[in-house]
Chains A and B, each alone.
Chain A
Amino acid sequence: MIKKFASTFLIFLSLTFAASAELRINVTEGTFKPVPIAITPFDGSRDPELAKVGQDITEVIMNDLESCGLFHIVDPQAHIQSAQDVMTAPRFADWKILNAEALVGGLLKRNGNAFQVDFRLFDVFTESQLTGLSLGSDASNWRRVAHKIADEIYERMTGDKGYFDTRVVYIAESGPEMDRKYRLAIMDYDGANHQFISSGNTRVLTPRFSPDRTKIAYINFGADDRSPTLHIHNLETGQSESIASLEGQRMSPRFSPRGDHLILASAKGGATTLYKMDLGSKRMEKLTASSSSIDIAPCYSPDGTKICYISDRGGKPQIYVRDAAGGEGTRISFSPGYHDNPIWSPRGDLIAFTRHYKGTFYIGVMRPDGSGERMLDSGYLLEGPTWSPNGREIMYTCQSSRESNVGICRVDIVGFNKRKVPIPGQGSYPTW
């Protein structure tokens, strides 16, 4: 059984200081230079236990902000003030000498069995507070508190929603290639709080989150490993519902933006066709109607008006876009090679995809009209991109060489900072 994500209580209180100001990261500009930010180690009010929590929280905030590619963390060795002092009287002139453009301080206090963190974010050059919050939680949830603070800093400085307080479901893989075990697993986006969902007794593939992140649609091959069936796992109840198919092998399930139906593929008679499935009645409605082509890997635009998908009706798998209501799809991928796994950014502005060309796999993005195609990463085997909830990062399956393990990587679409997500074994096919 999975521990519920929402078991924490968080109190948001605004800490006022001075008027807010100008420091803002514009992530749409061409060449991007990470903003130097000084994060003073959060102070534990002379309580050793709190001091440890403060230190842990500081590290998580630093990792969040550094790994997103938009920030450069000023070396703590060079700090000239403690967090306590920063909270009350930041010496902006001294921080300017260190080239810190943003400054963060934090203070932990006991609050019964729980603790409270006050933190402030300052613009060093205008010498003003950008934000200040007070968060309360029980001690076991210190990681979420840290991610919330990092989210708040990110949001204040970029104007985008933060995505550090998020989780990822993926397929944990173990064992040799010929006897591989596949398990659904869930973790924080940075690999922490890892938990297995399924036992590994059945082959599971292609999980996708519902929009509210409470359910996972995936394919389960069953106890005999010969009965691929659509399943929906409920993270709150821990139960998996099996939705039997009378004919056709179900593939590629995804939730609609409103979560009321699925869009999926069903293969029968050598053709793979897209369908809508109402989640109440389980009734199927055909979306594509070719008798011979493979139409698979569907995805909705965030507003639900369009779908993108793969079709090999032109010979090789390529990305097509069409109205959700109907009509012929328009091919949008034209660079050499195959294109696969399209997935629409939650911002609506880009479609991420897998490309396979001359033995190399790429993760790339293009606009929904097919223009502006660019590659973000390449390797021996890359596939299955998934967007961060704010559309600024992509996570995907990555294997650098035939001999290396299959793992999970992430890359931001501005600075192209690539990172491996730490997982306990091998893994693939994240959904964020």
Chain B
Amino acid sequence: MRLTITSLLAASALALTACGSCVDECVDVSGQGGPLAAAEAELAAEACVPGSVADFVDNVGDRVFFDFDRSAVRPDGLETLQRQAAWLNTYANYVVTIDGHCDNRGTVEYNLALGERRANAAREKLIAFGVDPARIRVVSYGKNRPVVEQDGSEWAWQQNRVAITVLD
């Protein structure tokens, strides 16, 4: 019960902050001009629509990162998942798939299982924050569908140790 109250509070807080950053962004981009800026403005404008996919990706954050060979949700990931849950509880028409990914320093098969475990760890937090389990599917790609190109940098490996919540 207490959990539900918390997430409702989080949802209203989110609505406020999301709206604020949204307006800033719109003003910022429209001041520049040029075709590229126009395209960016269009994207930003989409992000301004509360409840849109862009709103979720840009203002809530669709990804949760993990440490090497780990599937425990870190504190920063927990915050992201709390925002995701609040948003999903507000926009209850969405169902989601959480994609599990791994960096490429492992085998195909173990990484498929590890990716599922990561995606599931994110799923369990969303459920704990009040999202209906029936709305959350998981799929693991292991190391076989990298999110960013793995150039050997720690940054790129980190970007690929991730669970991404995708609005279906």
Binding site for B on A (CB under 8 A): 176-178, 180, 182, 203, 205-206, 221, 225-228, 249, 251-252, 265, 267-272, 294, 296-297, 310, 312, 316-317, 338, 340-341, 354, 356, 359, 381, 383-384, 402, 428-429
Q: Are A270 and B107 in contact (CB under 8 A)?
A: no
B2 beta carbon closer than 8 Å to chain A: no
**Known contacts A205-B144, A249-B116: A226-B97 contact under CB 8 Å:** yes
**Known contacts A177-B149, A294-B114, A381-B104: A341-B97 contact under CB 8 Å:** no
Partner of B110 from A227, A270, A294, A429 at Cβ < 8 Å: A294
Q: Are A206 and B149 in contact (CB under 8 A)?
A: no
Q: Are B105 and A356 in contact (CB under 8 A)?
A: yes
B117 beta carbon closer than 8 Å to chain A: yes
Q: Are A383 and B108 in contact (CB under 8 A)?
A: yes
Rounded to whole angstroms, the CA-CA distance of A227 and B108 in the bound complex is 17
**Known contacts A249-B140, A267-B140, A294-B113: A383-B107 contact under CB 8 Å:** yes
A/B interface sample: 13 pairs, CB < 8 A: A178-B148, A180-B144, A221-B141, A267-B140, A270-B116, A270-B121, A270-B124, A294-B117, A296-B112, A296-B113, A341-B109, A359-B105, A383-B108
* B side interface size, CB within 8 A: 29
B-chain residues with CB within 8 Å of residue A402 when the two chains form the complex: 150, 152
Q: Are A356 and B113 in contact (CB under 8 A)?
A: no
B54 beta carbon closer than 8 Å to chain A: no
Binding site for A on B (CB under 8 A): 69, 71, 97, 104-110, 112-114, 116-117, 120-121, 124, 138-141, 144-146, 148-150, 152
Rounded to whole angstroms, the CA-CA distance of A429 and B112 in the bound complex is 14
**Known contacts A226-B97, A226-B139, A402-B152: A267-B113 contact under CB 8 Å:** yes
A-chain residues with CB within 8 Å of residue B138 when the two chains form the complex: 249
A-chain residues with CB within 8 Å of residue B150 when the two chains form the complex: 177, 402
**Known contacts A294-B117, A354-B107: A251-B139 contact under CB 8 Å:** no
Partner of A341 from B107, B124, B145 at Cβ < 8 Å: B107
Distance to closest chain B CB from A338 (angstroms): 8
Distance to closest chain A CB from B114 (angstroms): 7
Q: Are A296 and B110 in contact (CB under 8 A)?
A: yes
Distance to closest chain A CB from B65 (angstroms): 17
Contacts beyond the supplied A294-B114, A296-B113, A341-B107: 19 A-B pairs with Cβ under 8 Å:
A177-B149, A205-B108, A249-B116, A249-B138, A251-B109, A269-B120, A270-B117, A270-B124, A271-B117, A296-B110, A296-B112, A310-B110, A312-B110, A317-B110, A338-B106, A340-B109, A341-B109, A381-B104, A429-B108
B-chain residues with CB within 8 Å of residue A310 when the two chains form the complex: 109-110
Rounded to whole angstroms, the CA-CA distance of A273 and B109 in the bound complex is 13
Rounded to whole angstroms, the CA-CA distance of A203 and B69 in the bound complex is 24
**Which are the 7 A-B pairs with shortest beta-carbon distances?**
A270-B120, A267-B116, A272-B113, A294-B113, A383-B107, A340-B107, A270-B117
Q: Are B108 and A206 in contact (CB under 8 A)?
A: yes
Rounded to whole angstroms, the CA-CA distance of A297 and B22 in the bound complex is 47
A-chain residues with CB within 8 Å of residue B112 when the two chains form the complex: 205, 249, 251-252, 267, 296
Q: Are A384 and B108 in contact (CB under 8 A)?
A: yes
Q: Are B113 and A203 in contact (CB under 8 A)?
A: no
Q: Which residue of B lies closest to A356 (CB)?
A: B106
Q: Which residue of A lies closest to B69 (CB)?
A: A316
Distance to closest chain B CB from A375 (angstroms): 16
B-chain residues with CB within 8 Å of residue A206 when the two chains form the complex: 108-109
Rounded to whole angstroms, the CA-CA distance of A221 and B99 in the bound complex is 13
Partner of B109 from A270, A296, A338, A381 at Cβ < 8 Å: A296
Rounded to whole angstroms, the CA-CA distance of A403 and B114 in the bound complex is 25
Rounded to whole angstroms, the CA-CA distance of A178 and B124 in the bound complex is 29
B-chain residues with CB within 8 Å of residue A317 when the two chains form the complex: 110
Q: Which residue of B lies closest to A402 (CB)?
A: B152
Rounded to whole angstroms, the CA-CA distance of A294 and B108 in the bound complex is 14
Q: Which residue of A lies closest to B150 (CB)?
A: A177
Rounded to whole angstroms, the CA-CA distance of A341 and B111 in the bound complex is 12
B-chain residues with CB within 8 Å of residue A226 when the two chains form the complex: 97, 139
Rounded to whole angstroms, the CA-CA distance of A383 and B9 in the bound complex is 49
**Known contacts A203-B144, A297-B110, A341-B109: A272-B152 contact under CB 8 Å:** no
B-chain residues with CB within 8 Å of residue A268 when the two chains form the complex: 116, 120
Residue of B69, B71, B110, B149 with highest tally of chain A CB at under 10 A: B110
Rounded to whole angstroms, the CA-CA distance of A271 and B121 in the bound complex is 11
Distance to closest chain B CB from A255 (angstroms): 16
Q: Which residue of B lies closest to A354 (CB)?
A: B107
Rounded to whole angstroms, the CA-CA distance of A29 and B120 in the bound complex is 50
A-chain residues with CB within 8 Å of residue B107 when the two chains form the complex: 297, 340-341, 354, 356, 383-384
Rounded to whole angstroms, the CA-CA distance of A203 and B145 in the bound complex is 9
Distance to closest chain B CB from A328 (angstroms): 20
A-chain residues with CB within 8 Å of residue B114 when the two chains form the complex: 294
B-chain residues with CB within 8 Å of residue A252 when the two chains form the complex: 109, 112
Q: Are B116 and A272 in contact (CB under 8 A)?
A: yes
**Known contacts A265-B113, A296-B113: A178-B149 contact under CB 8 Å:** yes
Rounded to whole angstroms, the CA-CA distance of A63 and B73 in the bound complex is 53
A-chain residues with CB within 8 Å of residue B71 when the two chains form the complex: 270
B-chain residues with CB within 8 Å of residue A221 when the two chains form the complex: 141
Rounded to whole angstroms, the CA-CA distance of A280 and B166 in the bound complex is 36
Rounded to whole angstroms, the CA-CA distance of A267 and B144 in the bound complex is 17
